[in-house]
A and B are shown apart, each in its own frame.
Chain A
Amino acid sequence: MIRINCPYCGERDHSEFSYGGDATINYPSLDASEKEWTEAIFFRKNIKGFQFETWHHSNGCRMWLVVERSTVTHEIKSVKPCHPDLQKVVENNK
């Protein structure tokens, strides 16, 4: 069981969350070309080690989070909200 430290709810089991995907993708604008979109949604790195990925606290506060997790050990280095404004709120409340 991976334990994820939700910035709003605290440390919880991963079964409360849903996995999103690669958190580092810069999605192209909606009017971007098919080629750019193909790059963004189909081509993924298969990282061995730490990667940034999104998780949704779907059975909790419903926040989308960026989790820095090792694909080898499941070790989690950092968890923060995806939304920059929410990131600021979390920072200010520390």
Chain B
Amino acid sequence: MKTRRIDNYGKINRDKILSFRWDKKNYTGFEGDTLASALLANKIGIVGRSFKYHRPRGIFSSGVEESGALVTIGSKDRRDPNVRATTQELYNGLEASGQNAFPNVNFDLAGINNYLGRFFAAGFYYKTFMGIPPLEWGKGTAIWMFFEKFIRKAAGMGSASGLPDPDTYEHAHDFCDLIVVGSGPSGVAAAIEAAEKKLDVILVEQDSLIGGNQLAENDFDNSQIKNQLENLGIKIMTRTTAFGLYDNCVVGLLERVTDHISAPNLNIPRQRFWTIRAKHIIVGAGAIERHIAFNNNDIPGVMTVNASKHYLNRYGVLTGKRIAIATNNDSVYETAHQLSEAGADITVLDSRSNFEIETNKNFEIRKGYVPYNINGSKKIHSLDVSKSENMNKYETINCDQVLLSGGWSPAVHLLSHRGVRPKWDYSNACFLPSDSKENITMVGSSRGLWNKNDCIASGIAGTTDALNRLGISKTNYFFPKPGGWKNPIQPLYEVKYKKSRSKSFVDYQHDVTTDDVRLAHREGFISVEHLKRYTTLGMANDQGKMGNIIGLSLMAELLNKEIPEVGTTVFRPPYTPVPIGALSGRNVGKHFRPLRVTPMHQWNIDHGAKMIEVGLYQRPWYYPKENETLSDSYIREASTVRKTVGICDVTSLGKIAIQGPDSTEFLNRIYSNGFSKLQVGKARYGIMLRDDGIVMDDGTSWRLAENEYFMTTSTGEAAKVMSWLEELLQTRWTDLNVNVTSVSEQWAGVSVAGPKSREVLNNCVDDSLVVNNNNLPFMGVTSTFLKGNIPCRIARISFSGELAFEVYVKSDFANTMMDLLWANAKKYDGCLYGLEALGALRVEKGHVTAAELDGRVTIDDAGLSKMASTKKSYIGSAMRKRGVLKNNDREILVGFFPSNLKETFNAGTIVCEKNNIKGQGIGRITSVTYSPELGHWIGLGFVKGGLDKWKDIILVGADPVRNKQMNLKVVSPHMIDPKGERMYA
């Protein structure tokens, strides 16, 4: 490489030297450098290896469109792959390395792929590994799956660290009247105009400095502009990319807070993910210079013309000594002149034959010439050129750098995010933005304006447009006409190579060549969307910012159509990659989702509870004694409940206060069973159906007073039931006078279950008479006081099948209640029991939970036909016996025993007939437990036809996941105390 740092150029701070490491060697650069400019200054030309062919790649650009210089920054858990060296600011101690190469980018063993190129054309892997006879007869997938992992390893870019991300990220929000994207001449003009008209303005710039492409000019100084913007109260956000536009003028921003700092303060986030809600958006995102496809157009030393200008004037790096510039437009001549002034030998090849350009002739201009082939592999030795009219090698020019300009593509990406398709402009050979009906205005070169004065005028016009649309003004305005070069551009996308196979790259990053596009055409992938997916053109992380137009033009030529007829691919967010860490913000680890705890959470832990997550709730799982395992513990707990008494935190149940004169009517409509005759002081178990007749949830409702009920729902469905009740009252039954309020957080609940439960409660309430069998019969409810004058609600409800009570107190009294109950339960050798024992008890009893009521089950399937009233209509009553729901081979709730009582089984087991073990079988097991009462494993589940059909017939439980099989006996789901004698005791 003949790149070098030169004096008196650039805006870098030469007093501040920064040291950095590239591929394990030490180098230095200056403050203000990017990694790319520092590498160039250190004469490093090869910075990566290409995706498929492992060809050496250099730096192609100076910005976000970079498709060659993708490197890995940082090490260990801060290793960040696929970072564009062109946008990475240099800092002291930066560590970077090349990618996709072994042992390194200068000597890469996989470089042999370059010579096997014919095997790696588009679709090669799929064709080869998915269709090898005889494997293509339906078995190709297996061989593909075998080879895929090797193929994936050979291709690709950098790799992630695989370690937890040590950095923090933040989500932030802001509002404004106008957000301006881009701080080039048009964006700045728009922002100033808007701020002067008293709008609240945010100006966003992805670069570290404001100025846009003016930063590539040798006489540009942004300090005055910056002061002006700040004095007007404009919020300037640099190092911030507007990565996407969304509905209602919402803009997504990524602010890189510490990516440019060598030892960032760990108390500030690495990046901020902003959601900006604006009233109007002005996009002055600029334009991106295209390259030209010709043979070996990827050899390190190839670069866009504008990039070279940036390196010279911003970073003081002259990128070549003998430079060939290939162009089809006027934009390169200023750069050619400046490079020549800086000491380079310049030859300009212009594909146009007839045009006038003013230069002071200190470089050669060859009119009617195009680049044909680069000679060299790791660096450029010379360039073969051809005449435009015949495209054959004509002569060879000695050079060490080739700069390309195939025209400019306005950055219409953000508008494309809003579904606005750009339109092709023949005279400027580019896509121009169409008008948007939303409050979005495109300004500057992103609407195809090539000179600065037009850009400034468009910025002011853009703000006028915004003011008009916001109803603040009614001023006429006009945008300058697209274009602005003296001579028209001559479309030039590819110079065809006449010899054997060519390596003319369309998409550098994904190694897509012009031949790949032609292959796709031959094989019928002619739609743009197919072309893209078949060749992966434009699907790398640069998203085809440089190469897409070339691909389109090639396809247009093959189809004998014009580019707009071939179409354009739709750009989708993000404009540049957004790290997953920034998307998740602080919602990681324990903060991934909210955590809910009951008011006696700490009490439970203090008393030995091991916790488990149920939905968002932390609930006691089991209370092990000494060295007990989970199963030791829950079996002991369940046995204790059956023998004496147990206490269980049931606070996580949903609780809803239902109040108002029409409460009874309301409940009678939403529950499938009758509620009209429920007396004050009684509770009832109820089932709610959905509109379509499927079971939604079950729970109890307690009638506290004439017009007041207390409803409990299952833990998991609490939020859904609450929304459902509100929906019914606010949308369907607006004549009902009922108010519903969620009181889940207000009440702490506990279940006291077991033959000794009444005696325990007796000792805990102020007035022991209230809990005797007469005053509190089965399903009775009372509002009374616990000792210490604590108001409470008690209902005699049983989930375990034992004599049992649910006691509720205000959440503040939760610990006092637990202390009181526990002190008394201990006297009867009682226990604390958790969710696992609760499950065992209810499975023994045949009670259903969410495992059974999974949204596919009808009330009849669940064996609860008695709960479906025939005397009234209710939600779901018309639909619960529709169509397939009345088939008589539906899966019905049953109990399961293993035939051999010593065997175990698992939930998820598929129930099959003997000799027909396949597919979905005839049923499934939903819940299993060891039954302390019965002394063996039992299960609940469903089987087609139910108990009546399979009584005394041995079925098979197939558990292919665990590679298990066992014989099963079908039994009644009510596996203990079927008559309920214990509950009524």
B881's nearest neighbour on chain A, judged by CB, is A34
A30 and B873 in contact (CB under 8 A), knowing A58-B723, A63-B730, A83-B730?
yes
- A-B interface pairs (CB < 8 A), number: 74
A30 and B250 in contact (CB under 8 A), knowing A56-B726, A83-B731?
no
Question: Which residues of chain A come closer than 8 Å to B246, judged between CB atoms?
Answer: 1
Determine whether B437 belongs to the interface, using a CB cutoff of 8 Å to chain A. yes
Q: What's the Cα separation between A27 and B734 when bound, in Å? A: 13
Q: What's the Cα separation between A33 and B881 when bound, in Å? A: 11
Q: What's the Cα separation between A82 and B732 when bound, in Å? A: 9
Determine whether A31 belongs to the interface, using a CB cutoff of 8 Å to chain B. yes
Q: Are B734 and A83 in contact, CB atoms less than 8 angstroms apart?
A: yes
Q: What's the Cα separation between A53 and B728 when bound, in Å? A: 15
Give the contacting residue for B247; candidates A1, A42, A85; CB below 8 A. A1
Determine whether B248 belongs to the interface, using a CB cutoff of 8 Å to chain A. yes
Q: Are B878 and A30 in contact, CB atoms less than 8 angstroms apart?
A: yes
In the assembled complex, the CB of A13 is this many whole angstroms from the nearest CB of chain B, namely 8
Q: Are B691 and A64 in contact, CB atoms less than 8 angstroms apart?
A: no
Give the contacting residue for A85; candidates B437, B438, B734, B873; CB below 8 A. B734
A30 and B882 in contact (CB under 8 A), knowing A2-B247, A58-B723?
no
Determine whether B275 belongs to the interface, using a CB cutoff of 8 Å to chain A. yes
Q: Are A30 and B874 in contact, CB atoms less than 8 angstroms apart?
A: yes
Question: Which residues of chain B come closer than 8 Å to A54, judged between CB atoms?
Answer: 727, 731
Q: Are A64 and B731 in contact, CB atoms less than 8 angstroms apart?
A: yes
A38 and B248 in contact (CB under 8 A), knowing A64-B730, A83-B731?
no
Determine whether B875 belongs to the interface, using a CB cutoff of 8 Å to chain A. yes
Q: Are A1 and B726 in contact, CB atoms less than 8 angstroms apart?
A: no
Q: What's the Cα separation between A29 and B875 when bound, in Å? A: 10
Determine whether B879 belongs to the interface, using a CB cutoff of 8 Å to chain A. yes
In the assembled complex, the CB of B276 is this many whole angstroms from the nearest CB of chain A, namely 10
In the assembled complex, the CB of A38 is this many whole angstroms from the nearest CB of chain B, namely 7
Question: Which residues of chain B come closer than 8 Å to A28, judged between CB atoms?
Answer: 878
In the assembled complex, the CB of A5 is this many whole angstroms from the nearest CB of chain B, namely 10
Give the contacting residue for A1; candidates B248, B723, B882; CB below 8 A. B248
B689-732 vs A, CB cutoff 8 Å, 1 = contact: the mask equals 00110000000000000000000000000000001001101111
Q: What's the Cα separation between A86 and B729 when bound, in Å? A: 12
In the assembled complex, the CB of A8 is this many whole angstroms from the nearest CB of chain B, namely 12
Q: Are A64 and B878 in contact, CB atoms less than 8 angstroms apart?
A: no
Determine whether A74 belongs to the interface, using a CB cutoff of 8 Å to chain B. yes
A3-18 vs B, CB cutoff 8 Å, 1 = contact: the mask equals 1000000000100001
A41 and B691 in contact (CB under 8 A), knowing A1-B250, A34-B878, A82-B731?
yes
| Residue of A2, A23, A29, A82 contacting most chain B CB atoms (<10 Å) | A82
Interface residues of A in 31-55 (CB under 8 A from B): 31-34, 36-38, 40-42, 54
Q: Are A41 and B723 in contact, CB atoms less than 8 angstroms apart?
A: no
In the assembled complex, the CB of A51 is this many whole angstroms from the nearest CB of chain B, namely 16
Question: Which residues of chain A come closer than 8 Å to B879, judged between CB atoms?
Answer: 34, 37-38, 41
Q: Are B248 and A2 in contact, CB atoms less than 8 angstroms apart?
A: yes
In the assembled complex, the CB of A82 is this many whole angstroms from the nearest CB of chain B, namely 4
In the assembled complex, the CB of B187 is this many whole angstroms from the nearest CB of chain A, namely 23
Determine whether B310 belongs to the interface, using a CB cutoff of 8 Å to chain A. no
Question: Which residues of chain B come closer than 8 Å to A73, judged between CB atoms?
Answer: 437-438
A32's nearest neighbour on chain B, judged by CB, is B878
Q: Are B726 and A62 in contact, CB atoms less than 8 angstroms apart?
A: yes
Question: Which residues of chain A come closer than 8 Å to B729, judged between CB atoms?
Answer: 83
A30 and B248 in contact (CB under 8 A), knowing A3-B277, A58-B723, A73-B437?
no
In the assembled complex, the CB of B676 is this many whole angstroms from the nearest CB of chain A, namely 14
Q: What's the Cα separation between A76 and B423 when bound, in Å? A: 28
Q: Are A56 and B727 in contact, CB atoms less than 8 angstroms apart?
A: yes
Determine whether B417 belongs to the interface, using a CB cutoff of 8 Å to chain A. no
Determine whether B669 belongs to the interface, using a CB cutoff of 8 Å to chain A. yes
B875's nearest neighbour on chain A, judged by CB, is A30
Determine whether B633 belongs to the interface, using a CB cutoff of 8 Å to chain A. no
Q: Are A30 and B730 in contact, CB atoms less than 8 angstroms apart?
A: no
Determine whether A20 belongs to the interface, using a CB cutoff of 8 Å to chain B. yes
Determine whether B877 belongs to the interface, using a CB cutoff of 8 Å to chain A. yes
A33 and B878 in contact (CB under 8 A), knowing A18-B723, A58-B723, A64-B726?
yes
Q: What's the Cα separation between A3 and B277 when bound, in Å? A: 9
> Given A34-B878, A38-B882, A41-B691, list of 19 further CB < 8 A pairs?
A1-B246, A1-B247, A3-B247, A3-B248, A3-B277, A20-B727, A20-B731, A30-B873, A31-B877, A34-B882, A37-B878, A37-B879, A40-B691, A41-B692, A56-B723, A73-B437, A74-B248, A81-B730, A84-B734
Q: Show 12 A/B contacts (Cβ-Cβ < 8 Å), sorted by A.
A: A1-B277, A30-B878, A56-B723, A56-B727, A58-B723, A62-B726, A63-B730, A64-B730, A64-B731, A81-B730, A83-B734, A84-B734
> Which 6 residue pairs across A and B have the least CB separation, nearest first?
A30-B873, A31-B873, A1-B250, A64-B730, A3-B248, A37-B878
